[in-house]
A and B are shown apart, each in its own frame.
Chain A
Amino acid sequence: MKLLIIEDEIDLAKSIVEFTAKENHIIEVVYNFKEAKEKINLQEYDCALVDLMLPDGSGLNIISELKKVQPKCGIIVISAKNSIDDKIDGLNLGADDYLTKPFHLAELNARIKSVIRRRFFEGSNTINVNEIQIETEKREVFVNKTKIELTHREYDILLFLISNSDKVLTKESIIEHAWGENSNAFGNLDFVYTHIKNLRKKITDAGGGDYIHSLYGVGYKFSLK
């Protein structure tokens, strides 16, 4: 897949590139409005990350331009402003998703995959990882072709882990993904352990491998190794 990152904060753009390096994307980065405009009129992209606040212009204009010249390209807005400011604006203009800074790289990675799945694999939204199969459209999970019953949260956690396989995901990022943006107010985050434990048990009980590893209480990793 071909990604375009439009982000004036160079260090942040580099982090995104580094984090998504193993996903086999072709990534191009531009740091301002002018370059972004040139790029989107020159080349085709599958997904674009657009920072709304660029030094020389508003990302909102880039979104409307993208919708015109490349209607197939998925758009994820990344902005320092939050939902109360301009989430509506970005989404109204046709962005697929919206992330507020500071975000978890894992969350961004999962969102990119989700946007690409929705845009390019319509009808066959299936993720296969060894014996595990996820039907993202119906939110169903099969292990060795047998359906396992997961709770809403367990499903979200599993999909999040698999979208970021071989990456250490912090408890914070997992909770924010499954419980929502405001969950950072929870304080104690250890309750996520119970959900991970149940999830692992349901998969192994159905004959699946134990792929979810804990990392010294910091977070979890889904790895086939």
Chain B
Amino acid sequence: MKLINKISRYYLINAGIIFIVAFVGIYITLNWILTDEIDERLKIKNDEIIKRFYAGEIINNSPYVELSQIDSVFKSRGYITDTSIYLKSEKENEPFHQIISFLAKNGNNYKLTVRTSLIEKDDLFITLLVIFSITFAAFTLILFFFNRKSTREIFIPFYTDLEKLKNYSVKSGLPVNLTYSKIDEFNELNSVLNTLSEKAVHEYRALKEFSEDLSHELQTIVSVIKSKLELLLQNSDLDKVDINNLQTAYQNLSKLDNINRSLILLAKLENKDFFNSDEINLPDVIRRISTNFIDIAESKRINIITKLNSEIRINSNLSLIETLINNLLSNSIKHNIENGTVEIILSGNSLLIQNTGELFKRNTNDIFNRFSGSKNKSDSIGLGLAIVKKICELYRFRIDYKYEKDFHKIFINFD
């Protein structure tokens, strides 16, 4: 529920309660005053009629004044009672107040009833109800229009800011920069968010620089270790065990090196660094890189089939495109089976690289995430496809993955 509606609902509920209480209070007070007034008049009228009766005037005006002769004598009670009488004019029973008096004149006994109608009290109720209803309806209507107007004036800057926040990323390197609002609460929130985003940007930049520096620092360290291992290997006194140990160290260092290089590239891609662009003949690049894989494929009895039916050229960085193709092909060979195939199909604006292989146990949506590579292949470092995805994002190529009929399929659309 929107804030303004929540507030309005509270307003309406409270206003409703106040209206009802006021209505009841006013009605009871007015009713009491009115009844008192009516009864006062009834008494005066009664006294007047009694005077006129003794003066010899006979008044009979049913149902307001009724005079009848009676046999026995009653003591006059002289107080007001309620009654209801059917009125032909209204065609229903209407409430009356009446005073009954017993009078004696010339040895005869009389019963005098003087009445007055209470229809005015009904009118009072209806009038009050109408006034209150109209006021309440007007109140609701005004609230409604007020809300619409205030939503527009007060909340539109708020929603604009909300949209800004939704689309905000610290990677942009800029603070979120929310608009100034005349409302203190929003202003305070905005200034807190602005400061927060500035801090986040600062921290992010520091972290980015740190990881880049670290990676470059690591490369130098790896270089030194690698060179020392190569020098050690030249020692002719080494026995087989020594050499195997050296080899293990060397291979793991190579893995570390690969991971580090991949992370540097990923960081660059994520930072959207500037990359030189050239016009690249894609089929040429694919042809050149796929020849590099022929030997490794043959050693695993994997057949590489290349169908390049397009002369597509794309404007992008050659090294990145080479990395893209290289990672895809190396992936398609790594996750292949004995006697399997890799098909590279380029047609129109799209490239399909498909290979035989078992279905991954993990979620297919995860395959482009870093370190989600299957753990059982110790050679795989799982960053290859993450890099592929980032390169595609950089150049707005559409990339999709599907597993179909024992084939892993990766589509790239270069539009």
- Chain A residues with CB under 8 Å of chain B are 9, 11-12, 15-16, 18-19, 53, 80-84, 88, 101-106, 153, 167-168, 170, 172-173, 179-180, 182-188, 190-191, 194-195, 215-219
Contact = CB atoms under 8 A, between A and B. Distances in A.
Contacts, number: 123
Interface string B220-253: 1011101110110110000010011011001100
Nearest to A170: B250
Nearest to B217: A80
Query: Which 8 residue pairs spanning A and B have beta carbons closest together?
Result: A15-B227, A187-B379, A191-B299, A102-B223, A185-B330, A101-B223, A182-B326, A11-B224
Contacts of B293: 186
B265 interface: yes
Interface in B84-132: none
Contacts of A102: 219, 222-223, 226-227, 257
B349 interface: no
Given A88-B276, A182-B322, A218-B246, 8 more contacts: A18-B231, A80-B220, A101-B222, A103-B226, A170-B233, A182-B292, A185-B330, A187-B330
Interface string B243-285: 1101100110010011001001100100000011000000000
A194 B294 CA distance: 13
Given A80-B219, A80-B220, A191-B299, A106 B326 contact: no
Contact of A187 (B261, B298, B334): B334
A217 B230 contact: no
A160 to B, nearest CB: 14
B151 interface: no
B296 A186 contact: yes
B224 A215 contact: no
B228 A11 contact: yes
Contact of B319 (A83, A184, A194, A219): A83
Contact of B231 (A82, A88, A105): A105
A167 B234 contact: yes
B300 interface: yes
A67 to B, nearest CB: 22
10 contacts: A53-B216, A81-B216, A82-B319, A84-B320, A88-B276, A170-B250, A186-B333, A187-B296, A195-B295, A216-B244
B379 A194 contact: no
Contacts of B327: 185
Contacts of B275: 84
The B interface is mostly helix, strand or loop, or mixed, namely helix
A215 B233 CA distance: 10
Interface of B: 216, 219-220, 222-224, 226-228, 230-231, 233-234, 240, 243-244, 246-247, 250-251, 254, 257-258, 261, 264-265, 268, 275-276, 289, 292-293, 295-296, 298-300, 317, 319-320, 322-323, 326-327, 330, 333-334, 377, 379-380, 384
Contacts of A84: 265, 268, 275, 317, 319-320
A153 B292 CA distance: 10
B298 to A, nearest CB: 7
A195 B295 CA distance: 9
A9 B223 contact: yes
Contacts of A81: 216
Contact of B243 (A153, A186, A218): A218
B338 to A, nearest CB: 12
Please indicate which of the listed interface residues A80, A183, A195, A219 has the most CB atoms of chain B within 10 Å of its own CB.
A80
B172 to A, nearest CB: 22
Nearest to B261: A82
A191 B295 contact: yes
A172 B330 contact: no
